């Protein structure tokens, strides 16, 4: 008996020791900056992802919230629900306004997928019946920064079925971050290009989830591996377990459990093999893997014979709104929504505008809203519309008997929009006709916003002043002008695994921002002299060619000329001091620089560099950090890699140039744009010259006419 | 191609045309570039710097010299092209069917205006005045000339003056043949059963005038084709080489033929020499300014600046009178054309298209009469508008072969111009259509207006002032156009619908008017004013109501203010001034010797004004003079010709030593030709008069005067309407009050009105109190209360300070801390000794002067409420209070 008990205990401890854990602040799970629960019955919810691959053992929600001092603790309470099941309730005690509470969430409530974690309050500041339902005193605030959810889980074995396994392995619900190792048989530009295709496709499958790539010639234990290379190389990697690869036409795609060094398999991680002797077949197989977004095939292998992507148009991408086109709300992921009660939440229409939109000032986006509302609304009720957080219009709900409004038109000046992500929010502010001390009937308080409402954005030119690394952070511009990265080349001056891994991380980040895999991007190890497109350079500072560095805003030579911003001017360019010095980059600094391509006007070069491999690898990790992405701007970005928070310093110091007009801007346009006073001069000159020419012509004409009139 | 169109094909200019095309392309590219890539700062800079340069070129007089004039024009064209491109590609947006239609209408009006602007820039590039070609001294080498004076129904004295002056034209008599060609005494008219007698009488009078002057008289059977038919009929009975056509109110000067005939000898292909029309009387708008200023005449702009500009392009056209035509070429096109009702322009158009030339001599050599009243003015302008629109519709200058490109543009501009009524009307109502009906007609922000529209609009004012300075006061074109706009629209529409229908209407001349009054034609302007005032009021409301539209509201508001100003100023111009003179006076100068037979002395003086009936002069005689005194005047004209007139002093005004005298000519058959010769024969006089008007300033004063008159008109009309409305109301009241029943009703309605007013006042006061004060007023209270603090298990005696229906205020001393929201119970007595136990909540606890001031709120429910009311209001008031308050409580 005792032995049995010891065995069970040992097994339990062993399994407990193998369990992994993830701790995520709620901030990472919601776009809200805080959860404000207002009125007598406020509620808010967030989604908690649980990956298919996880077998959750334990879930603890640590909640930190503040309550209004004016609440009456005895009759105010908060309920926490998971998927609509209450898991905790607590009194909102004003005597203890700041509370930290740990809530054990029953794991059986957590299903693979997105779980709704909701907070509901019933709060009062008066015991009387005559309590205003939305008095300012009625609030509870849940901090999303200090509250977090902690999950303990085991990994489930990876099924050896390609369709199911890829959905499980490249599951964006895994958090907080994921590692994928790519194994290539050799370090050539072709192999690196294939790795880029694979990494880009995988990154897209992970949606916005941070995914970190590493590259080597060997399998890496403890993470999922993707092997790309010849059949011979693949066989060598699997040799320890004596596996044969099947023959067949097309590139082979096969899934295994991850072989262990000593032989045997790690069933919790996968090895996906993409093998063929032909580069083209490999690429087809890689692209197939990267796009396998449904559980098919149910086999562990396939031979990829052909693969084609849908036709892409310039400037398209994830949630990118095409101009001059009418979208209904359903298309924009906003289905018909009903707002109920006094304090209903808002809904948001999220979309992106191309990063290089030249937003004109006098145009209007057209919003046509179809909605209905209930009877008995007080005449101060309204449906508020805001754009990018700025209140724009309150639609007056002024009919006591309710109404159905079809095609309520709102003209939104385009200058309230910005390139990149934009939002249009609808939040009702409903009030009932009843008096303060009357029994309030709130069931009639509703507004329904219909999905056939429409949004139209007028046409805008694609033209932008460069360099702007913030556009790169926004959606990978200008490398995503063609969403598949066509016309983009990745240049690794001195190729090694670290530089390639950094490049893959950058490519992955771009893919995630734009939502389309960069299948059209090439990798080169030779200088792309004469290249007519965009160039992404990744390498150590000493490896980047000198003339690249000379063109860059920070010339990293032996005696670099370093820009230092001075204070006191709104004109950023004029407020830069320069120091020529003999100094070094150091090991803890990463640099990102953007400047005009020396090969073609209007095209850009973006350089990612650091002093050594370690720095380069850290830089690759840093660019995946949303905080870093939000902070980079201008044409020179310096990232402190020694600080885990990666503080960023951004400057705008280099020469300006412009790009746009569907990717082709004439040399003359570009020159005049950068030298506006030359334009003024040329304009004056052309008017003067034309005037002189006109004068000359007219004088001759008049002389002739006068001679005729005088009979000469 | 370009040179062929321009007919610039003399000499070799192989590189100039490509260079011009290249430079024009550079300008177009510049507009495109700035429109595509510039931000607002740059756009505003470009627009306003351009405007600044234009203004400087104008103000410093640099633009008066070539080649700067062309640079000035190009720069103005640049601003205009920049505006219209921006307007076309950036501001037109579909926002709904009604908006779209309104937007298109406004856009069309702007396109029209800018087309006219561009054509004006082109035509005015370099005006040209043809110098006089001297005549040979040998009369045998001179061509013969027929002078044709068409007449219809004008007064005899007008025809007599013109015919008399024609006989005095300095030209060999054997080569000069003068005819009165009378359409007022045609056979058809004479045979008319009712008006035949008048026609016979006129026929005889005209024949008599002709016989007295020794000139010809021609009439015809019918009045077919009006003036054109009359002249063509006369052409059959005459045979001279050249034909001088003079309207019967256009009195020629002696040197008319001397200054014009030489051109025909010099240029064999010349078909026309046109001279300006000088008008002795002011047009109705000018007449309103008498005593305020002496602006240039309305026609001055056309004859002194536009016509020389057209002359440069060989596009000077026949204006119906004061012109010499070559018979040979005229007969080639069948005489004066009669397809349109502007036969003159049409004839010139036909001859130009056959490759013949015209010349404009910019020297006034006829003196005529312009319409006296707005009615006549509108009749004349409607005829011109209809005729010129007919020219576009029936002949299309842009497509007619034989014309050079500048000629096409000139004719098209002259014809197309007459559509201005539509655009002016649209501009009047466009801002109101947004402010009143909410139509989106102009999709632009105020910054864009600042960057594109404002520099362009202001540049057009600068350009207008530059082109027409000396002949048109600033903003007067706006007034003239506005005044005519409303009346031209129906006239033009009727031509558009029926291009061949309009008939020739003779412009009445020499009409008199006994009173000052506001022309009834001004009525539409009251509507314009009303609409714009309403729009402005709504703009004020919308400014606060729709802050997101403030850009548009500001732009349309400013536009409305301008419209309002323009409408008021135009209304001010609509006054009809009294006109009782039979013969108009005109300013004159020069020495005059005045002989006083009574004193047998002559005094030297200075001529001030003259007319066919008399002369005004200034003298300083050493003896007193008196009215009705007979004097002999001795004066010279600019040619040195001496004149003697017998005159009677009708008016004498003494200023210091100077006498201003008005003398009436003692007219008789012998003296009359002399008087006509002196008054009308000297062309230098008309030129001096032009120059004097050119120097006239005071534009602001004139505009202010018009504004004042406009406001007066609105005020007068508003008072008149109010007066009429009050009179009607009074009449109705008197009628009602005449029966006792209605009087009672009236009293009842009055009482009801006052009662409602009182209720409204009470409601308002309550509303204000409720908003700004407590719901229930507090009353001071005395006595004590026993306060039970259940949380502290303590009883404290408090002193009552105030009481209301919501709670009580107390002062007390407590040894523990009292919190807000803490439950308490109080035991109190009212003045009648009734005891009450009331549950409360502490709402306010403040320590002051060592005591606790405590505000406790009653806990109100169904049971406690009557108790509370009873306690607060006492027994006697409870029923009333409960009745009043209960609905709130429940």
Cis peptide bond N-terminal to A467, omega within 30: yes
Contact A709 B10 (CB under 8 A): no
CA triplet A578, A581, A585: central angle to 5 degrees?
A: 100
Which among A361, A706, A708 is the nearest to B40, CB-wise? Answer: A361
Instruction: Give dist(CA A166, CA A175) in Å, integer.
Output: 17
CA-nearest residue to A411 within chain B is B95
Chain A residues lying within 8 Å of B51, measured CB to CB: none
Output phi, psi for B128, to 5 deg.
Answer: -140, 130
Q: Six-digit token pair at B296?
A: 């240039």
Which among A687, A690, A711 is the nearest to B265, CB-wise? Answer: A711
Helical packing angle, A189-205 and A497-514, nearest 10°: 40
Contact A458 B93 (CB under 8 A): yes
- Give one word for A661, left, alpha or beta, with left for phi > 0 and alpha for psi -120 to 50: left
Exposure letters B486-508 (e unless 16+ CB within 10 A, then b) = bbbbebbeebeeebeebebebbb
Long-range contacts of the stretch B873-879 (C-beta < 8 A, 24+) = B874/B830, B874/B831, B874/B832, B875/B830, B875/B832, B875/B834
Contact A362 B443 (CB under 8 A): yes
Give the DSSP letter of residue B579.
B
Output phi, psi for B392, to 5 deg.
Answer: -65, -45
CA-nearest residue to A362 within chain B is B444
CA-nearest residue to B552 within chain A is A362
CB A406, CB A372: distance < 8 Å: no
Min CA distance, A688 vs chain B (Å)? 6
Min CA distance, B67 vs chain A (Å)? 5
Contact B8 A696 (CB under 8 A): no
Min CA distance, A710 vs chain B (Å)? 5
- C-alpha distances (whole Å) from A370 to each of A450, A457, B874 are 6, 18, 57
Find, among A700, A703, A699, the residue nearest to B67 by Cα.
A699
Give yes or no for A326 touching B (CB within 8 A): no
Q: What residues of B are labeled active site?
A: 183, 344
CA-nearest residue to B128 within chain A is A702
Q: Which of residues 763-822 of B touch A (CB under 8 A)?
A: 821
Chain A residues lying within 8 Å of B438, measured CB to CB: none
Taking residue A466's Cβ as centre, other Cβ atoms within 10 Å add up to 23
Instruction: Give dist(CA A646, CA B700) in Å, integer.
Output: 69
CA A589 to chain centre: 24
Output phi, psi for B78, to 5 deg.
Answer: -60, -45
Beta-strand pair A390-396/B851-858:
unpaired
Which string of DSSP letters, residue by residue, matches B96-107? -HHHHHHHHHHH
Tokens 């010797």 belong to which residue? B593
Tell me the sheet residues that pair with B173: none
Instruction: Give dist(CA A566, CA A576) in Å, integer.
Output: 6
Chain B residues lying within 8 Å of A682, measured CB to CB: 26, 30
Runs of H (alpha helix) within A118-260: 162-169, 189-205, 231-237
Which among B27, B36, B263 is the nearest to A687, CB-wise? Answer: B27
Q: Does B297 or A662 have the greater pLDDT score?
A: B297
Find, among B569, B563, B565, B652, the residue nearest to B614 by Cα.
B652
Instruction: Give dist(CA A600, CA A529) in Å, integer.
Output: 10
CB A514, CB A579: distance < 8 Å: no
Cβ burial of A546 (10 Å; 0-12, 13-18, 19+) is exposed
Beta-strand pair B145-151/B176-182:
parallel
Instruction: Give dist(CA A534, CA A522) in Å, integer.
Output: 11
pTM beyond 0.80, yes or no: no
Instruction: Give dist(CA B119, CA B412) in Å, integer.
Output: 9
Percent of chain B with pLDDT over 90: 29
Q: What mean pLDDT is reported for chain B?
A: 83
CB B287, CB B512: distance < 8 Å: no
Whether pLDDT at B4 is above 50: no
Q: SS3 for B471-492, per residue?
A: CCCCCHHHHHHHHHHHHHHHHH
Give the DSSP letter of residue B521.
G
Beta-strand pair B784-789/B823-829:
antiparallel
Tokens 């309730």 belong to which residue? A89
Which among B8, B357, B445 is the nearest to A701, CB-wise? Answer: B8
Contact B267 A711 (CB under 8 A): yes
Cis peptide bond N-terminal to B720, omega within 30: no
Min CA distance, A377 vs chain B (Å)? 20
Give yes or no for B864 touching A (CB within 8 A): no
CA B51 to chain centre: 24
For residue A521, the number of C-alpha atoms closer than 13 Å in the C-beta half-sphere is 38
pLDDT tens profile B382-440: 888 998 999 888 888 998 899 999 999 999 999 999 999 999 999 988 988 888 888 88
Give yes or no for A678 touching B (CB within 8 A): no
Nearby residues of B271 by Cβ (< 8 Å), 6 or more positions away: B325, B326, B329, B330, B348, B351, B356, B357, B358
| CB-defined contacts A:B, below 8 A | 147
State the first-to-last Cα distance of chain A, in angstroms, to the nearest integer: 138
Beta-strand pair B216-219/B176-182:
parallel
CB A88, CB A102: distance < 8 Å: no
Instruction: Give dist(CA B121, CA B141) in Å, integer.
Output: 42
Chain B residues lying within 8 Å of A697, measured CB to CB: 8, 13, 16, 20
pLDDT tens profile B807-857: 888 888 888 888 888 888 898 887 777 888 888 988 888 887 778 888 888
Chain B residues lying within 8 Å of A690, measured CB to CB: 20, 23-24, 26-27, 74
Return the H-helix or E-strand segment holding A490. strand A488-491
Chain A residues lying within 8 Å of B6, measured CB to CB: 701
Instruction: Give dist(CA A623, CA B801) in Å, integer.
Output: 70
CA-nearest residue to A126 within chain B is B821
Query: At A319, is the secondary structure helix, strand, or coil?
Result: coil
Q: Which of residues 634-663 of A touch B (CB under 8 A)?
A: 658, 661
Taking residue A65's Cβ as centre, other Cβ atoms within 10 Å add up to 23
For residue A415, the number of C-alpha atoms closer than 13 Å in the C-beta half-sphere is 10
Give yes or no for B708 touching A (CB within 8 A): no
Min CA distance, A253 vs chain B (Å)? 50
Give yes or no for B270 touching A (CB within 8 A): yes
CB A273, CB A293: distance < 8 Å: no
Contact B23 A706 (CB under 8 A): no
| Beta strands, E only, A202-250 | 210-216, 224-229
Q: Six-digit token pair at B862?
A: 């169904």
Min CA distance, A454 vs chain B (Å)? 14
Min CA distance, A135 vs chain B (Å)? 16
For residue A663, the number of C-alpha atoms closer than 13 Å in the C-beta half-sphere is 16
Output phi, psi for B244, to 5 deg.
Answer: -100, 125
Which among B34, B71, B95 is the nearest to A691, CB-wise? Answer: B71
Give yes or no for B265 touching A (CB within 8 A): yes
Radius of gyration in angstroms for the set of CA atoms belonging to chain A, rounded to a whole number: 31
Give yes or no for A694 touching B (CB within 8 A): yes
Query: At B792, is the secondary structure helix, strand, or coil?
Result: coil
Which among B33, B267, B888 is the nearest to A709, CB-wise? Answer: B267
Tell me the sheet residues that pair with B399: none
Exposure letters B797-836 (e unless 16+ CB within 10 A, then b) = ebebbebbbbbbbbebebeeebeebbebbbebebeeeeeb
Sheet holding B366-368, edge to edge: B251-252, B366-368, B278-279
Q: Which of residues 451-510 of B touch A (CB under 8 A)?
A: none
Instruction: Give dist(CA B814, CA B796) in Å, integer.
Output: 7
Q: What was the pLDDT predicted at A571? A: 52
Which among B33, B125, B859 is the nearest to A128, CB-wise? Answer: B859
CA A244 to chain centre: 41
Residues in chain A, pLDDT under 50: 1-2, 7, 11-17, 662-663
Chain A residues lying within 8 Å of B79, measured CB to CB: none
Which among B74, B96, B359 is the nearest to A690, CB-wise? Answer: B74
Whether pLDDT at B678 is above 70: yes
Runs of H (alpha helix) within A399-468: none
Contact B19 A393 (CB under 8 A): no
Cis peptide bond N-terminal to A176, omega within 30: yes
Give yes or no for A679 touching B (CB within 8 A): yes
Give the DSSP letter of residue A357.
B
């Amino acid at each position: 008996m005792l032995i049995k008990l010891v065995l069970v205990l040992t097994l339990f401890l062993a399994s407990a020791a193998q369990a992994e854990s993830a701790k995520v602040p709620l901030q990472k799970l919601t776009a809200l900056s805080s959860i404000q629960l207002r009125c007598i019955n406020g509620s808010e919810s967030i989604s908690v992802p649980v990956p298919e691959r996880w077998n959750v053992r334990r879930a603890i929600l640590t909640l930190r919230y503040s309550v209004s001092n004016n609440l009456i603790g005895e009759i105010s309470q908060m309920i926490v629900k998971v998927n609509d099941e209450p898991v905790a309730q607590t009194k909102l005690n004003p005597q203890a306004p700041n509370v930290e509470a740990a809530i054990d969430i029953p794991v059986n409530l957590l299903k693979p997928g997105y779980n709704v974690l909701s907070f509901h309050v019933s709060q009062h500041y008066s015991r009387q019946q005559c309590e205003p339902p939305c008095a300012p005193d009625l609030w509870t605030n849940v901090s999303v920064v200090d509250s977090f959810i902690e999950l303990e889980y085991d990994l489930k074995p990876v099924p050896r079925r390609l369709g199911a396994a890829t959905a499980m392995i490249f599951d964006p619900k895994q958090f907080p971050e994921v590692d994928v190792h790519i194994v290539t048989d050799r370090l050539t530009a072709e192999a690196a290009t294939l790795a880029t295709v694979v990494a880009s496709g995988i990154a897209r499958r992970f949606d916005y989830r941070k995914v970190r790539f590493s590259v080597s010639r060997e399998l890496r234990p403890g993470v999922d591996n993707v092997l790309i290379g010849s059949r011979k190389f693949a066989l060598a990697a699997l040799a320890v377990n004596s596996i044969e690869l099947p023959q067949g036409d097309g590139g082979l795609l096969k899934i295994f459990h991850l072989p262990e060094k000593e032989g045997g398999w790690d069933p919790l991680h996968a090895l996906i093999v993409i093998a063929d002797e032909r580069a083209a077949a490999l690429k087809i197989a890689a692209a197939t893997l990267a796009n396998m977004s449904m559980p098919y095939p149910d086999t562990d292998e396939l031979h990829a014979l052909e693969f084609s992507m849908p036709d892409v148009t310039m400037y398209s991408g994830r949630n990118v709104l095409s101009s001059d086109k009418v979208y209904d709300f359903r298309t924009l992921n906003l289905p018909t929504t009903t707002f109920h009660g006094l304090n209903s939440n808002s809904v948001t229409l999220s979309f992106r505008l191309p990063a290089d939109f030249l937003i004109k000032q006098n145009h209007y986006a057209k919003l046509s809203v179809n909605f209905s509302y209930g009877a008995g609304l007080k005449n101060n009720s309204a449906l508020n519309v805001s754009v990018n957080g700025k209140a724009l219009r309150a639609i007056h709900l002024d009919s006591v008997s309710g109404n159905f409004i079809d095609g309520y038109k709102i003209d939104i000046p385009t200058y309230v929009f910005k390139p990149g992500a934009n939002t249009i929010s609808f939040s009702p502010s409903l009030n009932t006709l009843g008096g303060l001390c009357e029994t309030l009937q709130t069931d009639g308080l509703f507004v329904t916003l219909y999905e056939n409402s429409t949004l139209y954005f007028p046409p805008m030119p694609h033209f932008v002043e460069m360099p702007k690394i913030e556009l790169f952070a926004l959606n990978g511009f200008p490398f995503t002008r063609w969403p598949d990265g066509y016309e983009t080349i990745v240049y690794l001056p001195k190729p090694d695994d670290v530089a390639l891994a950094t490049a893959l991380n950058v490519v992955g980040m771009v893919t995630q921002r734009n939502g389309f895999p960069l299948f059209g991007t090439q990798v080169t190890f030779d200088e792309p002299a004469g290249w007519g497109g965009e160039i992404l350079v990744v390498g150590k500072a000493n490896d980047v060619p000198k003339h690249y560095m000379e063109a860059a805003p920070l010339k990293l030579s032996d005696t670099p000329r370093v820009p230092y911003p001075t204070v006191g001017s709104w004109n950023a360019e004029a407020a830069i001091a320069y120091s020529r010095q003999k100094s070094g980059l150091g090991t803890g600094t990463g640099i990102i620089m953007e400047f005009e391509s020396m090969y073609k006007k209007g095209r850009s070069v973006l350089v990612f560099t650091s002093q050594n491999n370690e720095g380069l690898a850290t830089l690759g990790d840093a660019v995946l950090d949303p905080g870093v992405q939000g902070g980079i701007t201008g044409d020179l970005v310096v990232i402190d890699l020694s600080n885990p928070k990666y503080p960023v310093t951004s400057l705008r110091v280099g020469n300006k140039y412009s790009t746009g007009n569907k990717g082709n801007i004439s040399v003359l346009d570009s020159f005049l744009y950068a030298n506006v006073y030359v334009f003024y001069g040329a304009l004056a000159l052309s008017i003067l010259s034309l005037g002189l020419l006109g004068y000359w012509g007219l004088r001759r004409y008049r002389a002739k006419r006068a001679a005729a009139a005088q009979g000469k | 191609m370009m040179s062929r169109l321009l007919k610039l094909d003399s000499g070799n200019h192989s590189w100039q045309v490509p260079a011009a095309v290249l430079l024009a392309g550079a300008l177009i590219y510049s507009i495109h570039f700035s429109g595509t890539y510039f931000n607002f700062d740059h756009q505003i800079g470009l627009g306003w710097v351009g405007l600044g340069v234009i203004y400087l070129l104008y103000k410093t007089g640099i633009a008066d010299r070539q080649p700067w004039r062309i640079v000035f024009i190009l720069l103005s064209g640049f601003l205009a092209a920049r505006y219209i491109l921006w307007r076309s590609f950036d501001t037109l947006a579909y926002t709904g069917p009604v908006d779209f239609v309104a937007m298109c209408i406004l856009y069309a009006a702007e396109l029209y205006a800018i087309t006219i602007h561009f054509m004006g820039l082109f035509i005015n590039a370099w005006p040209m005045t043809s110098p006089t070609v001297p005549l040979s001294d040998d009369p045998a080498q001179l061509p013969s000339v027929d002078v044709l004076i068409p007449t219809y129904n004008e007064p005899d004295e007008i025809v007599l003056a013109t015919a008399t002056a024609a006989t005095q034209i300095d030209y060999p008599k054997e080569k000069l043949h003068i005819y009165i060609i009378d359409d007022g005494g045609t056979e058809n008219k004479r045979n008319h059963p009712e008006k035949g007698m008048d026609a016979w009488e006129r026929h005889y009078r005209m024949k008599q005038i002709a016989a007295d002057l020794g000139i010809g008289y021609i009439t015809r059977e019918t009045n077919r084709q009006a003036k054109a038919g009359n002249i063509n009929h006369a052409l059959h009975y005459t045979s001279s080489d050249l034909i001088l056509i003079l309207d019967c109110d256009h009195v020629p000067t002696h040197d008319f033929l001397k200054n014009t005939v030489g051109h025909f000898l010099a240029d064999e292909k010349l078909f026309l020499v046109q001279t300006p029309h000088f008008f002795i009387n002011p047009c109705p708008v000018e007449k309103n300014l008498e005593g305020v200023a002496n602006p240039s005449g309305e026609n001055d702009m056309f004859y002194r600046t536009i016509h020389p500009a057209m002359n440069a392009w060989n596009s000077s056209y026949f204006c119906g009178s004061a012109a010499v035509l070559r018979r040979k070429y005229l007969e080639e096109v069948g005489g004066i054309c009669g397809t349109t009702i502007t036969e003159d322009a049409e004839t010139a158009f036909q001859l130009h298209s056959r490759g013949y030339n015209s010349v404009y001599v910019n020297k006034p050599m006829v003196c005529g009469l312009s319409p006296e009243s707005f009615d006549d003015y509108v009749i004349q302008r409607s005829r011109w508008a209809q005729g010129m629109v007919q020219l576009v519709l029936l002949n299309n200058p842009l497509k007619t072969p034989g014309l050079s490109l500048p000629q096409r543009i000139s004719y098209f501009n002259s014809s197309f111009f007459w559509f201005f009524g539509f655009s002016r009307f649209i501009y009047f109502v466009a801002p109101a259509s947004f402010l009143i009906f909410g139509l989106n007609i102009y999709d632009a922000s105020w910054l864009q207006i600042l960057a594109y529209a404002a520099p362009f609009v202001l540049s057009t004012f600068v350009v207008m002032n530059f082109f027409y300075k000396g002949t048109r006061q600033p903003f007067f074109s706006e007034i003239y156009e506005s005044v005519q706009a409303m009346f031209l629209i129906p006239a033009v529409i009727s031509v558009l619908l029926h291009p061949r229908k309009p008939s020739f209407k003779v412009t009445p001349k020499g009409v008199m008017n006994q009173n000052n009054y506001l022309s009834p034609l001004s009525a539409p302007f009251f509507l314009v004013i009303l609409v714009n005032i309403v729009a402005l009021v709504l703009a004020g409301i919308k400014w606060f109501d729709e802050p997101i539209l403030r850009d548009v509201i500001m732009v349309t508001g400013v536009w409305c203010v301008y419209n309002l100003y323009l409408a008021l100023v135009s209304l001010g111009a609509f006054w009809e001034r009294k006109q009782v003179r039979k013969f108009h006076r005109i300013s004159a100068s020069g020495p005059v010797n005045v002989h006083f037979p009574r004193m047998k002395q002559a005094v030297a003086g200075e001529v001030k004004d003259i007319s066919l009936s008399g002369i005004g002069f200034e003298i300083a005689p050493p003896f007193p003079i008196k009215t009705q005194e007979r004097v002999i005047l001795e004066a010279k004209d600019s040619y040195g010709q001496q004149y003697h007139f017998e005159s009677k002093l009708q008016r004498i005004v003494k200023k210091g030593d100077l006498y201003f005298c008005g003398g009436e000519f003692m007219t008789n058959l012998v003296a009359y030709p002399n008087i006509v010769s002196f008054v009308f024969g000297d062309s230098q006089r008309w030129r001096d008069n032009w120059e004097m008007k050119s120097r006239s300033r005071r534009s602001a004063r004139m505009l202010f005067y018009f504004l004042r008159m406009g406001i007066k008109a609105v005020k007068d009309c508003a008072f008149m309407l109010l007066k009429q409305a009050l009179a009607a109301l009074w009449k109705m009241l008197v009628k009602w009050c005449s029966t006792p029943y209605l009087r009672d009703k009236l009293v009842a309605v009055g009482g009801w009105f006052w009662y409602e007013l009182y209720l409204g006042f009470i409601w308002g006061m309550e509303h204000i109190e409720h908003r700004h004060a407590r719901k229930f007023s507090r009353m001071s209270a005395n006595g004590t209360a026993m306060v039970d603090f259940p949380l502290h298990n303590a009883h404290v005696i408090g002193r009552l300070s105030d009481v209301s229906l919501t709670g009580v205020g107390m002062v007390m001393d407590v040894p523990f801390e009292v919190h807000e929201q803490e439950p308490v119970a109080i035991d109190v007595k009212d003045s009648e000794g009734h005891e009450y136990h009331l549950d409360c909540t502490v709402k306010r606890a403040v320590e002051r002067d060592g005591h606790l001031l405590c505000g406790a709120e009653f806990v109100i429910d169904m049971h406690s409420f009557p108790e509370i009311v009873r306690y607060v209001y006492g027994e006697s008031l409870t029923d009333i209070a409960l009745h009043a308050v209960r609905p709130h409580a429940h």
